[in-house]
Structure 1
Amino acid sequence: MPLYEHVFISRQDLSSAQAEGLIEHFGTVLSDNGGKLVENEYWGVKTMAYKINKNRKGHYAYLRTDAPAAAVQEMERLMRLHDDVMRVLTIKVDEHAEGPSVQMQKRDERAERRERR
C-alpha cells in the first residue's frame, strides 16, 4: 500500500486532550477503510505565520500512514468537514523516515546546517 504523511492544524481553543482525540478519531477512520496509522505525533500549540479563521495559533498533529488511496480520500474528506480542523496537508512518500520528525528533535540532534553568510 502507498505511504502518506499528513499534517493538520486544529483550532487553538481545544484542549490538548481533545486535539489528541482528533488524531485517534482519524486513525480509526483509516483503519475502518483498510489502512493503518503507522505513527503519530502531537506537536502542540504553535503560532502560525498568518491568521486562519481569525486564529493566530493552532494545535499541530502529524500522522504517518500506510493506506490505500480511497481510505486517505475519505479521511481527508472528513477532516475538511470537521469544524475543529482548519488546515490539512497530505504528501505521498516513497518511505517513512526512521525516528521522530524534525519538529520533535532537539536542536542538538539535528544534522549540522551550513553557515549563513
Structure 2
Amino acid sequence: MSTYECVLIARQDISAAQAEALGETFAQIIRDNGGNVVKSEYWGLKTLAYKIKKNRKGHYIMLGLDSPPAAVAEMERNMSINEDVLRYLTVRVDALDATPSVMMQSRGERGERGERGGRRFDDRGPRPPRRSEPAPVSDEASA
C-alpha cells in the first residue's frame, strides 16, 4: 500500500465539531476500502490567502493515509461532491511522520515565548505635547 497526506479545507460556516466529523467521514471511507488512517489532525479555523467560494476562512484538516490508490480516489470523489469542502490536496509521500505536523507544533510556541516583559502603557512615560497648529513663521526666516 502507498502512503499519502491529504489536507482539506472546509467551509467557515460549519462548527469545529462538524469539521472534525467531516474528517472522520473521509477517514471511514479509507477504512471501508481497505486502507488505514495513520494520523488525523484538526488544524483549526484559519484565514485564507484569498477568497474561495466567497469564504475568507476555512477549517483545515490533515489526514495521514496508508491505503491503496483506489481508496484515495474514492475519498477524493466524495470530497469533490461534498459542498462543505472548499479545497483538498492529496500528495503521495515516501513515509509518514508519526510526530505532530509543523502546524500542530506551532500552537505550543506562543506559550513557550513568555510574556512581553510586563510593560504597560504607563511605563513608557508621558506623551509629547500635541501640535494643534503649525509653528508661526518669523520675519527673519522669510527675508
TM-based fold match above 0.5? yes
Q: Distance in 2 between matches of 1:54 and 1:43?
A: 21
Paired residues for 1:1-117 under 5 Å: 1-106=1-106
Instruction: Decide which structure has greater strand share.
Output: 1
Name the count of aligned residue pairs.
109
CA–CA distance in structure 2, aligned partners of residues 64 and 57 of structure 1: 23
In structure 1, runs of 5+ residues without a counterpart are: 110-117
- Counterpart of 1:25, as a letter, is T
In the alignment, the residues of structure 2 paired with residue 22 and residue 101 of structure 1 have an alpha-carbon distance, to the nearest angstrom, of: 20
Q: CA deviation at 1:97?
A: 1.6
RMSD: 1.3
Larger helix proportion, structure 1 or 2?
2
Identity %: 58
Superposition deviation, residue 98 in structure 1: 3.0
Please list every run of 5 or more consecutive structure 2 residues that lacks an aligned counterpart in the other structure: 110-143
Instruction: Read off the aligned partner of 2:51 and give its amino acid letter.
Output: K
Query: Could you tell me how far 1:106 is from its partner in structure 2?
Result: 3.0
Structure 1 residue 107: deviation in Å? 7.4
Structure 2-normalised TM-score?
A: 0.74
Whole-angstrom CA distance in 2 between matches of 1:107 and 1:101: 11
1:108, distance to aligned residue in structure 2 (A): 7.7
In 1, distance between residues paired with 2:106 and 2:25? 29
Higher relative contact order (CA 8 A, sep 6+): 1
Q: Larger C-alpha radius of gyration, 1 or 2?
A: 2
Give 1:112's aligned residue: none
**Aligned counterparts of 1:25 and 1:18: Cα–Cα separation in 2:** 10
